[in-house]
Amino acid sequence: MARAPNYGQERKERDRQKAAKKAEKLAAKAAAKERSKPEDETKPETETAE
């Protein structure tokens, strides 16, 4: 006999996967922002150092 589906557990698992994907996306976005940021910050620092 087949087991009854556990919809609550399946929903929690989907939500967990969705949250992990969203967090990964935000982390990638933040990393991209950090990579582009030093270029902008470096120019004023070199100008003030001169």
pTM attached to this predicted model: 0.57
The pLDDT of residue 49: 53
Confidence band, pLDDT 50/70/90 cuts, at residue 43 = low
What tokens were used for 22?
Answer: 């969203």
- Average pLDDT, integer, range 20-46: 80
User: Among candidates 14, 33, 32, which has minimal Cα distance to 22?
Assistant: 14
The pLDDT of residue 17: 98
The pLDDT of residue 5: 87
The CA angle 39-41-45, to the nearest 5 degrees, is 115
pLDDT in tens, 3-17: 888 999 999 999 999
